Amino acid sequence: MSLIWVCGVDEAGRGPLVGAVVAGAVVLDPNNPIEGLKDSKKLTAARREYLYEQIMEKAKAWGVGEASPLEIDQINILQATMLAMRRAIEDLTTRLGAWPDKALIDGNRCPELPIAAEAIVKGDAKEPAISAASIVAKVTRDRQMMSLHERHPEYGFAQHMGYPTEAHFAALKQYGACDQHRRSFSPVRKVLESIEN
């Protein structure tokens, strides 16, 4: 009887106005447990970074996928999230050497996959593999935003990570949108329309 590999899948970055939506996929190793896995939103940045390194070291396999701001604008954020999740599982599959037997997806819908998949609402708080995937996705995306902050410090991405805050709106009004802003999101679109008019 071969082992059954179940991968947890979660995303980070559906709500921000800028950057990619990033998904993580993780198959945990039952012989190499990781203590303290929980929903990435309930962890400090330092704790997430620590657990991220633990996951890289101890998980059976992991993967990351993303959909770019341009793809988000072209197919909408929901479809882009599904695309990022599929890409994360494909990336994990490359490392695992085979498709996992099943995917547990955080949320209420699943991407189209050639394997069994189950959507679990608030799965990042219920399934350790999804918790691990949420940590991988969040740390990866936060690192991307820190890198973007270095290129465009005027927007303050290091503080708000691209979420729609007052400081972010003020920067958008002052500087317009950068190449990573999601043009299809109404706050960005409205600011650009007001500048053009």
Q: What is the mean pLDDT of each run of 10 residues along the chain (197 residues)?
A: 84 97 97 92 93 97 98 97 98 96 97 96 95 98 96 95 93 92 92 75
Percent of the chain whose predicted confidence (pLDDT) is above 90: 90
The pLDDT, as a whole number, for residue 39 is 85
Say which CATH number the domain at 94 has. 3.30.420.10
CA distances from 70 to 60, 66, 67, 82, 92 (A): 32, 11, 8, 15, 24
CB-side exposure of 48: number of CA atoms within 13 Å? 19
The pLDDT, as a whole number, for residue 1 is 40
The pLDDT, as a whole number, for residue 197 is 60
Tokens for 72?
């988000």
Task: Label residue 50 exposed, middle or buried (CB < 10 Å: 0-12, 13-18, 19+).
Answer: middle
Same domain, yes or no, for 122 and 140?
Answer: yes
Q: What predicted TM-score, i.e. pTM, was given to this entire model?
A: 0.95
Same domain, yes or no, for 33 and 115?
Answer: yes
Q: What is the DSSP letter of 117?
A: E
CA distances from 49 to 40, 58, 133, 136, 148 (A): 10, 14, 13, 9, 19
CA distances from 65 to 107, 153, 176 (A): 17, 26, 28
Q: Which domain holds residue 122?
A: 6-150
Same domain, yes or no, for 57 and 10?
Answer: yes
Same domain, yes or no, for 41 and 80?
Answer: yes
CA distances from 139 to 13, 166, 189 (A): 11, 24, 28
Rounded CA separation 68/22 (Å): 9
Asked whether residue 1 is assigned to any structural domain, the reply reads no
